[in-house]
Structure formats: C-alpha cells, structure tokens
Amino acid sequence: MQVPEQYKEQFKDKIKDKTRLNLAGMVSCMDEAIANITQTLKETGLYDNTIMIFSTGKIMKLTNNLRKSKLKRPDPVRTK
C-alpha cells in the first residue's frame, strides 16, 4: 500500500503498525478527496442533484464471481 507521507503524518505518533498507518493515511486521503468533490458540486449548483456511490475493487470482484457462479448453476425452476 502506498500513501503520500502528508496523509500519514498526522497519525505517526498514535499508530505504530505500518499497515494500520497506511490504512489511516488512505482513509484520510479519501476523506479529503470526497470533501473536495462535495465542495465543487455545491459551488457549481450540482450537489442537490447528485448521488455519490463508493465501492471497492474487492466488492466488484466478489460480485462478478457470484454472477459467474450463478450462471453455472442450473435453474431449479426449469424442468428437463
């Protein structure tokens, strides 16, 4: 996991574990990005007509795997 140092800096005294420090930095970075997007939407008058959806790559991979596995299973309603 790579995170710009500026986002980890605020947590260095509180979090000693490198993995947890990186995760905290990523969350901080994402929080800033979402705040920037929200502010821009409000400034341009688009905020009230916008839906923001956040997803992770792992969730999408899981969803795709579930779809594939369902396609391989026979439909229990059908009869031969």
In this prediction, residues 36-47 reach a mean pLDDT of 97
Q: What is the pLDDT of residue 53?
A: 85
Residue 4's contacts (CB-CB under 8 Å, 6 or more residues apart) are 25, 29
Give the percent of the chain with pLDDT over 70: 68
Mean pLDDT in residue range 35-59: 89
pLDDT value of position 60: 60
Q: Which residue has the tokens 């800096």?
A: 9
Return the sign of the alpha-carbon dihedral for residues 53, 59, 64, 70.
negative
What's the whole-number mean pLDDT along residues 11-27? 93
Residue 69 has pLDDT above 90, yes or no: no
The percent helix, strand, coil of the chain (3-state, each to 5) is 65, 0, 35
pTM given for the model: 0.64
